[in-house]
Amino acid sequence: MSFKELVKVLGLGAVALVLGVEWLDWLTRRLRVSRGPLKEVLFFPSPHVCVEHLFTRHRRFPCACPLPHGIETSFSRLLEHLLSARTSLDLCVFSFSHMELSRGIILLHKQGVIIRVVTDRDYMTITGSQIGTLRKAGICVRHEMSAAVHMHHKFALVDGKKLITGSLNWTLTAVQSNKENVMITEEPALVQPYQQEFQRLWEANDPTNHKPQTKLKPSFVISD
Amino acid sequence: MSFKELVKVLGLGAVALVLGVEWLDWLTRRLRVSRGPLKEVLFFPSPHVCVEHLFTRHRRFPCACPLPHGIETSFSRLLEHLLSARTSLDLCVFSFSHMELSRGIILLHKQGVIIRVVTDRDYMTITGSQIGTLRKAGICVRHEMSAAVHMHHKFALVDGKKLITGSLNWTLTAVQSNKENVMITEEPALVQPYQQEFQRLWEANDPTNHKPQTKLKPSFVISD
pLDDT at B147 (0 to 100): 83
Q: C-alpha distances in angstroms, B36 versus A192, B33, B96, B186, B188?
A: 16, 5, 32, 9, 11
Sheet holding B140-143, edge to edge: B39-44, B180-185, B162-166, B154-158, B88-93, B114-119, B140-143
Q: How far is A176 from chain B (nearest CA, A)?
A: 9
pLDDT 10s digits, B89-146: 999 999 999 999 999 999 999 999 999 999 999 999 899 999 999 999 999 999 998 8
pLDDT 10s digits, A57-84: 776 677 889 999 999 999 999 999 999 9
**Statement: residue A12 has pLDDT above 80:** yes
Please write down the HEC assignment for all residues of chain B. Answer: CCHHHHHHHHHHHHHHHHHHHHHHHHHHHHHHHHCCCCEEEEEECCCCCCCHHHHCCCCCCCCCCCCCCCCCCHHHHHHHHHHCCCCEEEEEECCECCHHHHHHHHHHHHCCCEEEEEECCCHHHCCCCCHHHHHHCCCEEEECCCCCCCECCEEEEECCCEEEEECCCECHHHHHCCEEEEEEECCHHHHHHHHHHHHHHHHHCCHHHCCCCCCCCCCCCCCC
Asked if B39 has any chain A CB less than 8 Å from its own CB, the reply is yes
Q: C-alpha distances in angstroms, A18 versus A11, A21, A60?
A: 11, 5, 27
pLDDT at A34 (0 to 100): 61
Structure ipTM over 0.90, yes or no: no
Cα torsion angle, A120, A124, A128, A131, sign: positive
Mean pLDDT of A1-22: 87
pLDDT 10s digits, A113-140: 999 999 999 999 899 999 999 999 999 9
pLDDT at B157 (0 to 100): 98
CA geometry: angle B55, B60, B66, nearest 5 deg: 65
Shortest CA distance to B165 belongs to which of A154, A76, A158?
A154
CA B65/CA B164 separation, integer angstroms: 29
Q: How far is B179 from chain A (nearest CA, A)?
A: 5
Lowest-confidence region among A118-122, A166-170, B30-34: B30-34
Mutation choice for A interface testing from B41, B151, B173 by most A CBs within 10 A:
B41
HSE, side-chain direction, 13 A CA sphere, residue B182: 28
Residue B4 annotated in active site: no
At B212, the pLDDT band (50, 70, 90 cuts) reads low
More confident of the two residues A126 and A102 = A102
At A184, the pLDDT band (50, 70, 90 cuts) reads very high
Q: Domains plus CATH for chain B?
A: 35-207 (3.30.870.10)
Asked if A165 lies within 8 A of B168 by C-beta distance, the reply is no
Those of residues 68-97 in B touching chain A at CB distance below 8 A are 94
Lowest-confidence region among A12-21, A108-117, A210-219, B40-49: A210-219
pLDDT at A221 (0 to 100): 41
Mean pLDDT of B180-196: 97
Active site residues of A: 152, 154, 159
Those of residues 125-144 in A touching chain B at CB distance below 8 A are 144
pLDDT at B33 (0 to 100): 58
Mean pLDDT of A159-185: 98
At A220, the pLDDT band (50, 70, 90 cuts) reads very low
Check B152, B206, B210, B217 and give the catalytic one: B152
Asked if A210 has any chain B CB less than 8 Å from its own CB, the reply is no
pLDDT 10s digits, B137-172: 999 999 998 888 899 999 999 999 999 999 999 999
Asked if A181 has any chain B CB less than 8 Å from its own CB, the reply is yes
Asked if A122 has any chain B CB less than 8 Å from its own CB, the reply is no
